Amino acid sequence: MAPFTYTAQPTRVVFGAGALQQLGREIERLGAQRALVLSTPEQADSARRVAELLGPRAAGIFAEARMHVPIETARAAREEARRVGADCAIAIGGGSTVGLGKAIALESERAGFPLLAIPTTYAGSEMTPIYGLTEGGVKKTGRDLRVLPKTVIYDPELTLTLPLGLTLTSALNAIAHACEGLYAYDGNPITALMAEEGIRAAATALPRLCRNEHDLDARGDALYAAWLCGSVLGSVSMGLHHKLCHTLGGSFELPHAAVHTVVLPHALAYNANAAPEAMRRIARALGTAQGPLSAAIGIFDLARTHGAPTALRDIGMPAEGLDRAADLAVQSPYPNPRPLERAAIRELLQHAFDGTRPG
């Protein structure tokens, strides 16, 4: 076996239907007394439920999380944490809410200000030390262990309300982390195991959720996939796919999970010949036939069969933005199995714009 380096992330995970009931015990375990509960405005009811469960340990609710963590929102949340004397934050929601919790943990005056995350989508942010902040329309990201949640409670019951459209795209967002993790230059056998199992669990959950979006067992499998794929994202470097999605999401304000869903098959087709072992493992996890483009086609078909978007034009991308997106994708170097070639990336974007099936 080739030598490798693997760093385990020190997050405690409590998983299972009904796991939210263990919140009080988990907050006590963190040694916290006053929790500020975070959510989006749409999930304010969930935040109130969490505050009720906490009783006297709830210091307040800040239900103003927004996509991509605008700096103004982060400042307002930090101010609220200070005002109510919070000694920890609880984020209930998707990547936007977890991202807000990370912004508070990053700038907290108290060293080791703990964040407890209760994810309700499959974005996976709760398992990463990656934070993002948007200022003046530009999103900057960084890595800092202070933002990694100390505890994550995964309760599939809380995902029963996730609309089917977001269920599909969010699960494909998770799969994207695992796919790029399988060809990461700093990948290792442990993250590869998590990646392959994560893809398998997500891909087998989706058809069941399309038949019955309240299938709790399938919801559990999808959340388990989110955990595994998020761990991969937090451990190894991402490549062209994540760069393109970051660019398209940030510069053209496209919905995060939908962009991942549309771009992934085309990014995999771009990298297919440069990362054959990763493609073999992705196809195996999807349960599709083996071939150079099986991974790309498998992901495309998984999305299309279940009614997820497959074309950038259908999710708000302007055709005249494709050239600029290609320019931005090659502006600064980053690791990717196949070298970054502007003309080929422009072609990739055209396929993604049109929704062409790879191959």
Minimum distance of ligand NAD from residue 91's CB (angstroms): 10
Q: Which residue has the tokens 């600029």?
A: 324
**258 part of the interface to ligand NAD, by CB under 6 A:** no
Site string for ligand NAD, 53-82 (x = CB under 6 A): --------------xx--------------
**124 part of the interface to ligand NAD, by CB under 6 A:** yes
Output the residue with the shortest Cβ distance to ligand NAD.
95
**260 part of the interface to ligand NAD, by CB under 6 A:** no
Minimum distance of ligand NAD from residue 325's CB (angstroms): 17
Minimum distance of ligand NAD from residue 65's CB (angstroms): 7
Q: Which is nearer to ligand NAD, 158 or 283 (CB)?
A: 158
**326 part of the interface to ligand NAD, by CB under 6 A:** no
Q: Which is nearer to ligand NAD, 20 or 162 (CB)?
A: 162
**219 part of the interface to ligand NAD, by CB under 6 A:** no
**101 part of the interface to ligand NAD, by CB under 6 A:** no
Site string for ligand NAD, 155-194 (x = CB under 6 A): ---xx-xx---x---x------------------------
Task: State which of residues 73, 108, 120, 261 lies at the interface with ligand NAD (CB under 6 A).
Answer: 120
Q: Which is nearer to ligand NAD, 123 or 268 (CB)?
A: 123
SS3 string, the chain, reads: CCCCCCCCCCCEEEECCCHHHHHHHHHHHCCCCCEEEECCHHHHHHHHHHHHHHHHHEEEEECCCCCCCEHHHHHHHHHHHHHCCCCEEEEEECHHHHHHHHHHHHHCCCCCCCEEEEECCCCCHHHCCEEEEEECCEEEEEECHHHCCCEEEECHHHHCCCCHHHHHHHHHHHHHHHHHHHCCCCCCHHHHHHHHHHHHHHHHHHHHHHHCCCCHHHHHHHHHHHHHHHHHHHHCCCCHHHHHHHHHHHHHCCCHHHHHHHHHHHHHHHHHHHCHHHHHHHHHHHCCCCCCCHHHHHHHHHHHHCCCCCCHHHHCCCHHHHHHHHHHHHHCCCCCCCCCCHHHHHHHHHHHHHCCCCC
Q: Which is nearer to ligand NAD, 198 or 358 (CB)?
A: 198
Q: Which is nearer to ligand NAD, 131 or 227 (CB)?
A: 131
Report the interface residues with ligand NAD, using CB under 6 A: 40, 42-43, 67-68, 93-97, 99, 120-121, 123-125, 128, 130-132, 158-159, 161-162, 166, 170, 233, 256-257
